């Protein structure tokens, strides 16, 4: 009964491929997020999604697109993967001030 | 990163108190947070404080906020080996999007 879950946990793929990471939360929260953690452990917001309103961090390339089929899911789709996309991607959800994070997906682009 | 700063490393003896410090630049920050990340794991919300508070205590954890100096600290009493982890300071404004510091790696030695 994990609160925020992500699949897959590990993803290894080649440059140029398209991949998706799935996120599900069973907490009934209204807002979901995607964060990227680089090799130096630095965390940066990519997207937040609330009631069909998407707020995009302007530094995120448009190869990245979040897709929300329903309130409990926010998937991350990445087109034309590049070496620099290698990182750990975290999904989070919140009812307001508190954010609860998933276990992360380690993406390695070769 | 650049809006939230933390020292990178802290070494503490088991049983002693740990104090992790953080400074932030945005005076409009609404909430300030401490997250814990163990190796290979996601981020665990330890505690957070509303910007109009100056102290919050939760079992072994004490958060102090000096809003005038934009300084946040986390004190862990009776530090245990299980407290070894990376601790992230974060701040958010009204949209609840988190801005993280670079993380402080805490090593607990016997």
B45 with A99: Cβ contact below 8 A: yes
| Torsion angle (degrees, nearest 10) of CA A99, B92, A85, A92 | 10
Digit-coded pLDDT (tens) for A10-51: 999 999 999 999 999 999 998 999 999 999 999 999 999 987
Q: With beta carbons under 8 A apart, name residues in chain B contacting A46.
A: none
Label residue A57 by pLDDT band (50, 70, 90): confident
Tokens of B45: 């919300």
pLDDT mean over A102-108: 96
pLDDT at B40: 86
Average pLDDT over residues A70-94: 95
A18, A19, A60, B67 from A80: Cα distances, Å: 6, 9, 14, 44
CA–CA distance, B89 with B43 (Å, rounded to integer): 11
Task: Please tell me the distance from the alpha carbon of residue B25 to that of residue A17, in angstroms, as a whole number.
Answer: 39
Dig out the tokens for B23 from the structure.
């400074």
Chain B residues within 8 Å of chain A (Cβ atoms): 1, 30-31, 33, 35, 37, 41-45, 48, 50, 86, 88, 92, 95-100, 102-103
pLDDT of residue B66: 94
Q: Which helix (H) or strand (E) holds B82?
A: none
Residue A79 has a pLDDT of 97
* The pLDDT of residue B2: 58
* % pLDDT > 70, chain A: 98
Predicted local distance difference test score (pLDDT) of residue B94: 65
B40 HSE (CA, 13 A, CB side): 2
Q: How far is CA A97 from CA A29, A30, B78, B90, B94, in A?
A: 11, 12, 28, 12, 9
Average pLDDT estimate for B7-23: 96
| 1-40 of A, contacting B, C-beta below 8 A | 4, 31, 33, 35, 40
B101/A59: higher pLDDT: B101
Q: Which residue has the tokens 């190796």?
A: B39
Nearby residues of A20 by Cβ (< 8 Å), 6 or more positions away? A67, A75, A76, A77, A78
Give per-residue pLDDT as tens, B62-98: 999 999 999 999 999 999 999 999 999 999 876 778 8
The Cα B83–Cα A40 span in angstroms is 20
Predicted pLDDT of residue B30: 87
Helix (H) or strand (E) holding A79, with range, is none
* A1 — pLDDT class (breaks 50, 70, 90): low
The reported pLDDT for the residue numbered A2 is 65
- What is the reported pLDDT for A52? 72
Mean pLDDT across chain A, nearest whole number? Answer: 93
* Length of chain A as a residue count: 110
Question: How much of chain B, in percent, has pLDDT values that exceed 90?
Answer: 77
Contacts of A2 by beta carbon, 8 Å cutoff, 6+ apart: A26, A103
pLDDT of amino acid A35:
95
- Residue B9: pLDDT above 90? yes
């Amino acid at each position: 009964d994990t609160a925020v879950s992500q699949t897959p946990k590990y993803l290894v793929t080649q440059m140029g491929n398209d991949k998706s990471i799935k996120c599900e939360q069973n907490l009934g929260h209204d807002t979901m997020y995607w964060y990227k953690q680089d090799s130096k452990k630095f965390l940066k917001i990519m997207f937040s999604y609330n009631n069909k309103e998407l707020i995009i961090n302007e530094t995120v390339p448009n190869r990245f697109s979040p897709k929300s089929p329903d309130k409990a899911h926010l998937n991350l789709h990445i087109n034309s993967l590049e070496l620099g996309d290698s990182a750990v991607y975290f999904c989070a959800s919140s009812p307001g001030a508190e954010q609860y994070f998933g276990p992360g997906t380690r993406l390695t682009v070769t | 990163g650049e809006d939230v700063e933390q020292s990178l490393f802290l070494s503490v003896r088991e049983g002693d108190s740990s104090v992790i410090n953080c400074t932030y630049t945005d005076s409009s920050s609404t909430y300030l947070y401490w997250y814990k990340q163990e190796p290979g794991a996601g981020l665990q919300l330890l505690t957070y404080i509303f910007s109009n508070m100056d102290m919050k205590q939760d079992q072994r954890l004490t958060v102090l906020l000096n809003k005038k100096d934009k300084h946040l600290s986390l004190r862990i009493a009776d530090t245990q080996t299980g407290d070894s982890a990376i601790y992230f300071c974060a701040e958010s404004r009204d949209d609840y999007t988190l801005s993280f510091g670079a993380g402080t790696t805490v090593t607990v030695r016997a």
